[in-house]
């Protein structure tokens, strides 16, 4: 079922909005005043709802809370600003909404898997967990400048850096902030945001952080398996996904693992996955060969993706859908995805910039080791470090805006600062470049502070929220069981980011933090893996085999019609990538393909084509095919 909700302030002015929504909302909750508060649609098992005197509280998502337990916790609240105390220590991934004494609190998750958006509907500010829902209700048009900016690679994480969405008039609340509608003696004030989550200081010894991570992961996976039934999980061979499989095998539910053998069936991932499966005899293991599952980029020409923004993960779209349908065929009610671990367990080289003043010997020694891997000179490394030390996030964005058409940044420049500098692809038009540049300048002017004081944590949160945003889009678009992303649960993120990067990035096991946390839960032979598999062979083979389908997707390109890409240059790039002869990374194609599919998925983009309900495509993006 499609999950959605809209929250209303405790005011008579919201009554017409509630009446409009009531026709589509099987679930309806009221403020203590009796006025409508929360309307939407959600599964009964994914909601804990409580009334305690003047307090109303709702936890929507995956958590162990029952309505009875939430009522006990909510009864202690004196004001909605104390709402976080009602879920203190509660694992999972969920929205928290509360109403008390005329004030309202709404927040998602710090990882951006759950978000809060706002818009003005019939003169009243309302909130929702989905931007597309508000766009449909308000009739908002897409913002052309944001479409241009979504061509950038590596993509800025808009969930982390901006209140902007793809829709005019629809704004987002930062993942670490809550929306507050506050009522006092003067009445109901305008909505404002309040910080509810702050990143940890990355200073804990490895063993201490690993112990916290172990607890957080066990509790997170337990929220997935509790209640029994059947759950499924990726068994790709990577330690992240494999750890979730072993944790899930200890839970109440039956376990089905799903894995696909790629172009190199004897690579490290396949070998490790097979070894792990031998240690999970009670699980059902579904293994599909390369010929049995769709390629990357398969069937893109016919894809319509009802997401609230372009999805850069479109290359895996058909594969992901196939995995979920296979899981559903084996009875799975929830699928555990291992994505998100890289951002948490592999400290970015930027931590060396952070540590240079306090631990210069360590930082310089590790830089020397990285310099060998990067195949760069001492002078270039020193210059990259000097540039990183001089920049704050706002300055880094301005410099990136100035160099959008420069070659892709390489180490050390790309890795020692606050974030990798984004670039526009060579097929972007001058108009698209200027639109993206102007947006980055505006974004730089809005940057009051980094996501965290340390560059390494800022970078990690940037990646976590980018992944969390993608996770939310996947659940909105794909058929099959809901996907859970335990590595994006807030308690897991907090535990992982608390580790001292000097130990978390120490030579030896590829992910010392996760390896230490999983000792005794994952067999030693599985934990000993030190290398990570490569998907490069799969990528180039898929581009070569599916180039015809990609060209079909771009026939009558909406991006070209809107003046954002040069079709001839894009065709040349596709040919070069398919033959592995391109000078730009293949990943630079993904945002472009995501934007094209997103534009084609908007109602009105193609007469007669199936598309989700929503606002029509504006003339500025319609063009002439």
The pLDDT of residue 160: 78
Helix/strand/coil for 32: coil
Q: Which residues of the chain have pLDDT under 50?
A: 607-618, 620, 622-625
**Hey, which CATH number is domain 4-145+159-195, 3.30.70.260, 3.60.70.12, 3.40.640.10, 3.60.20.10?**
3.60.20.10
Can you give the pLDDT at residue 613? 37
Give the per-residue pLDDT at 617. 45
Question: In this predicted structure, what is the pLDDT of residue 26?
Answer: 95
Strand ranges for 152-283 from DSSP E: 171-173, 177-181, 183-184, 187-188, 192-195, 230-234, 254-260
pLDDT of residue 530: 60
Residue 625, pLDDT score: 35
- Give the pLDDT confidence score for residue 614 in this predicted structure: 39
- Cα–Cα dist 262/383, whole Å: 40
pLDDT recorded at residue 541: 76
Q: What is the pLDDT of residue 622?
A: 44
pLDDT of res. 537: 63
Burial state string for 489-526 with b = 16 or more CB within 10 A and e = fewer than 16: bbbbbbbbbbbbbbbbbeeeeebbbbbbbbeeebbeeb
Provide the whole-model pTM. Answer: 0.93
Q: What is the pLDDT of residue 587?
A: 80
Residue 139: its pLDDT value, please?
Answer: 95
Question: Within 10 A of 423 (CB to CB), how many other CB atoms are there?
Answer: 24
- Tell me: the pLDDT tens digits for 230-253? 999 999 899 999 999 999 999 999
């Amino acid at each position: 079922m499609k999950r959605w909700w809209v929250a209303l302030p405790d005011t008579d002015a919201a009554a017409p909005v509630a009446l409009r929504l009531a026709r589509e909302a099987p679930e309806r909750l009221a403020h203590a005043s009796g006025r409508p508060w929360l309307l939407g649609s959600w599964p009964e098992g994914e909601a804990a709802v409580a009334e305690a005197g003047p307090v109303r509280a709702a936890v929507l998502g995956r958590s162990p809370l029952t309505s009875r337990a939430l009522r006990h916790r909510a009864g202690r609240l004196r004001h909605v600003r104390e709402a976080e105390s009602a879920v203190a220590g509660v694992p999972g991934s969920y929205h928290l909404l509360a109403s008390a004494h005329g004030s309202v609190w709404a927040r998602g998750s710090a990882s951006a898997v759950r978000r809060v958006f706002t818009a003005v509907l019939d003169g009243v500010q309302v909130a929702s967990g989905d931007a597309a829902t508000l766009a449909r209700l308000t009739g908002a048009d897409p913002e052309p400048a944001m479409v241009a900016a979504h061509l950038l690679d590596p993509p800025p994480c808009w969930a982390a850096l901006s209140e902007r969405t793809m829709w005019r008039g629809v704004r987002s609340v930062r993942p670490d902030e809550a929306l507050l509608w506050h009522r006092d003696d003067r009445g109901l004030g305008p909505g404002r945001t309040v910080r509810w989550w702050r990143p940890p200081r990355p200073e804990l010894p490895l063993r201490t952080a690993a112990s916290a991570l172990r607890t957080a992961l066990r509790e997170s996976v337990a929220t997935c398996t509790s209640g029994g039934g059947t759950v499924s999980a990726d068994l790709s061979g990577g330690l992240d996904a494999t750890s979730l499989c072993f944790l899930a095998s200890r839970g109440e539910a039956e376990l089905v693992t799903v894995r696909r053998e790629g172009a190199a069936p004897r690579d490290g991932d396949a070998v490790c996955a097979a070894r792990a499966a031998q240690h999970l005899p009670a699980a059902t293991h579904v293994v599909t060969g390369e010929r049995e599952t769709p390629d990357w980029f398969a069937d893109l020409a016919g894809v319509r993706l009802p997401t609230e923004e372009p999805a850069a993960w479109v290359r895996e779209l058909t594969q992901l859908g196939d995995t979920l349908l296979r899981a559903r065929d084996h009875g799975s009610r929830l699928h555990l995805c291992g994505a998100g671990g890289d951002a948490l367990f592999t400290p970015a080289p930027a931590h060396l910039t952070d540590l240079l003043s306090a631990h210069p010997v360590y930082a310089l020694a590790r830089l020397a080791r990285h310099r060998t891997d990067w195949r760069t000179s001492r002078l270039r490394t020193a210059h990259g470090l000097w540039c990183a030390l001089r920049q704050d996030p706002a300055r880094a964005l301005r410099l990136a805006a100035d160099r959008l058409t420069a070659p892709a940044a390489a180490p050390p420049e790309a890795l020692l600062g606050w974030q990798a500098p984004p670039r526009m692809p060579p097929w972007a038009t001058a108009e698209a470049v200027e639109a993206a540049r102007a947006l980055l300048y505006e974004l730089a002017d809005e940057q009051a502070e980094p996501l965290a004081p340390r560059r390494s944590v800022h970078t990690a949160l940037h990646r976590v929220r980018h992944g969390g945003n993608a996770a939310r889009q996947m659940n909105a678009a794909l058929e099959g069981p809901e996907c859970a992303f335990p590595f994006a649960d807030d308690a897991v993120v907090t535990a992982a980011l608390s580790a001292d990067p000097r130990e978390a990035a120490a030579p030896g096991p590829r992910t010392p933090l996760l390896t230490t946390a999983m000792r005794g839960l994952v067999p030693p032979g599985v934990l000993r893996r030190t290398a990570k598999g490569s998907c490069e062979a799969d990528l180039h083979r898929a581009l070569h085999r599916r180039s015809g389908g990609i060209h079909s997707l771009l026939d009558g390109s909406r991006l070209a019609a809107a003046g954002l890409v040069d079709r001839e240059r894009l065709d040349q790039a596709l040919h070069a990538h398919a033959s592995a002869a391109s000078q730009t990374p293949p990943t630079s194609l993904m945002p472009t393909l995501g934007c094209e599919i997103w534009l084609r998925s908007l109602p009105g983009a193609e007469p007669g084509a199936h598309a989700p309900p929503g606002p029509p495509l504006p003339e500025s993006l319609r063009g002439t095919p």
